Structure 1
Amino acid sequence: MNTLLRPYLATTDRILRQLRNDHRTVAMIIVVPALLMTLLYFIYKDTPVNPLHPVRLFDRVGISMLGILPFIVMFLITAIAMQRERSSGTLERLLTTPLRKLDLLGGYGTAFSLAAAAQAGVACLVAFGLLGLKAAGSPGWVVLIAVIDAVCGVALGLLASAFARTEFQAVQFMPVVVAPQIFLCGLLVPRGQLPGWLEAISNVMPLSYAVDALQQVSTHPGATGAMWRDLLVVVGFSVVALCLGAATLRRRTA
């Protein structure tokens, strides 16, 4: 068992050491979502509360953003990091060794998921502890959902990198993969109010289920069956994306 796990653990350790030495990337992962939540707070700080809907706008939008921001940041960083491995030749050299594709992607996924956990924890600490974000459920559930959603961003970033030949092309997947999910996840308009064909598209996007799960935490004091169902869907998307990423991983970077 140790022999089977050694390549995976070695890859995870290598990526974590690279992250530790890349201070700008660490700052983007940890600091940027918290700063954006702070900006969102000041945007909505003086917005009057609708008597018919007593929930503050910051509470409604903010809890959704705690899932959306980690997804965006981790997708972008993962896609660029993996493409950098390709363009530098590191990936090609690694794939000439006995290292399996799933070991490689699993190591990347684990390393960036640990970073995502730190990111989600800091963002939620700032939102609930400093900015006064309120939810009916426990902030712990919000952290869990944010981490799972960030892991999904990691998996989709790894998959997107398989179709990019340069870091710039990896960035170009942002408006293709991420932007439609933001528009259709229920943040701007409740998904039930979307035209039927748009609602059908939103039903096959993982971010929709992450936002739905966060809204369950926002309105219910305890974990609900709908929340767990939505989380399982997001996990399923992550697993499928990792498997597809392994299947499309090229041994040649040219």
Structure 2
Amino acid sequence: GHPPHVAACPPAHPIDPSRTGATAERVLRQLSRDRRTLALVLLLPPVLLLTLRLLFHRSPATFDRAGPALLGIFPLMTMFFVTSVAMLRERTSGTLERLLTTPVGRGDLLVGYGLAFAVIAAAQAALATALTVGPLGLTVRGSAALLFVAAILSSLLGTALGLWMSAFARTEFEAVQLIPAALIPQFMLCGILVPRHTMLPALDRLATVMPMTYVVDAMARLTTMRNVDRWLARDITIVTGCTLAALGLAAVTLRRRHP
């Protein structure tokens, strides 16, 4: 008899620079037409940091303590929200399915989206870092350039998490609900509200598996230490590793379709 028929999986396309570039250009073009989203991404973190500085205008030392952490947290949160909603629109509108029937592969799409949002993340990090270190007067003992790089890495982590988590939402309202579920526990345990060494041991251990903890630790070390030590290198490595892991999970869920 004939062997049972097995549906062939579509072949995996190697990443092509032209297809990747076209994807990134399309996403950037869409974002450029969405002025509210651009305002949210580019202006919200600087406005929040300015508000924080005004809140602690009588206590600059408090701003020096909390400012670096929030310089990493605010971009992460905004990029998570914007990326998850943007990717969800691609899924629910059918755009993603149509693209996946063309020679454009999952790698082209994922890298293209990543590149487009990396451009936005870099602009966001540049604005927030320049404002915080400049007019707001954040004390930085280490390298301001490395602080900028760390802020970009934080934005990229938010982007990667948003690309991945969008697979678990069917509507934009559900995407918004992902924010408290995915980010608020990290915010509470990352050490900005309560120093981690004063937490219950179980909560401290839980914080060590949350990527936002290492964003906060890296930003704090960059503003208080002049030298790059192994702990800072560890924080940067973990944040980068979590970003790559989230992108890998996003690639796995890229074909997921919602009814």
Q: How does 1:60-75 map to 2 (within 5 A)?
A: 60-75=65-80
Give the whole-Å Cα distance in 2 for the aligned partners of 1:101 and 1:229: 30
Alignment check: 8 A CA contact 1:89 1:253 kept = no
Task: Calculate the TM-score normalised by the size of structure 2.
Answer: 0.91
- Pick one of 24, 43, 51 that aligns with 2:36: 24
Give the counterpart letter for 1:201 in structure 2: L
- Pick one of 198, 215, 221 that aligns with 1:216: 221
Give the counterpart letter for 1:225 in structure 2: R
Please give the per-residue CA displacement for 1:179-218, whole angstroms capped at 9, x wherever unaligned: 1111111111122222111111111111100111111112
The higher radius of gyration belongs to 2
- Residue 191, structure 1, aligned to residue 196, structure 2: yes
Moved over 6 A (4+): none
Moved more, 191-200 or 164-173: 191-200
Give the whole-Å Cα distance in 2 for the aligned partners of 1:208 and 1:147: 16
- Pick one of 104, 128, 132 that aligns with 1:127: 132
Structure 1 residue 8: deviation in Å? 1.3
Alignment check: 8 A CA contact 1:95 1:251 kept = no
Give the whole-Å Cα distance in 2 for the aligned partners of 1:3 and 1:249: 15
Structure 1 residue 251: deviation in Å? 5.0
Give the whole-Å Cα distance in 1 for the aligned partners of 2:96 and 2:47: 33
Secondary structure (helix, strand or coil) at the match of 2:134 reads helix
Secondary structure (helix, strand or coil) at the match of 1:162 reads helix
Alignment check: 8 A CA contact 2:133 2:144 kept = yes
Alignment check: 8 A CA contact 1:137 1:217 kept = yes
Structure 1 residue 128: deviation in Å? 1.3
Give the whole-Å Cα distance in 1 for the aligned partners of 2:205 and 2:19: 41
Give the whole-Å Cα distance in 1 for the aligned partners of 2:233 and 2:24: 28
Moved more, 194-203 or 155-164: 194-203
Structure 2: 5+ residue runs without aligned partners? 1-13
- Pick one of 56, 67, 70 that aligns with 1:44: 56
Structure 1 residue 154: deviation in Å? 0.3
Give the whole-Å Cα distance in 2 for the aligned partners of 1:110 and 1:58: 33
Alignment check: 8 A CA contact 2:186 2:212 kept = yes
Give the whole-Å Cα distance in 2 for the aligned partners of 1:162 and 1:96: 19
Moved more, 206-215 or 20-29: 20-29
Give the whole-Å Cα distance in 2 for the aligned partners of 1:149 and 1:61: 16
Q: How does 1:238-249 map to 2 (within 5 A)?
A: 238-249=243-254
Alignment check: 8 A CA contact 1:185 1:191 kept = yes
Give the whole-Å Cα distance in 2 for the aligned partners of 1:196 and 1:113: 36
Match of 2:21 in 1: 9
Structure 1 residue 13: deviation in Å? 1.0
Secondary structure (helix, strand or coil) at the match of 2:206 reads helix
Moved more, 57-66 or 88-97: 88-97
Give the whole-Å Cα distance in 2 for the aligned partners of 1:168 and 1:3: 33
Secondary structure (helix, strand or coil) at the match of 1:16 reads helix
Give the counterpart letter for 1:16 in structure 2: L
Structure 1: 5+ residue runs without aligned partners? 50-55
Q: How does 1:157-236 map to 2 (within 5 A)?
A: 157-236=162-241
Give the counterpart letter for 1:196 in structure 2: P
Moved more, 205-214 or 91-100: 91-100
Moved more, 134-143 or 145-154: 134-143
Alignment check: 8 A CA contact 2:15 2:105 kept = no
Q: Taking every aligned residue pair, what percent have the same amino acid on both sides?
A: 45
Give the whole-Å Cα distance in 1 for the aligned partners of 2:257 and 2:101: 10
**How many positions carry a matched residue from both structures?**
246
Give the counterpart letter for 2:253 in structure 1: T
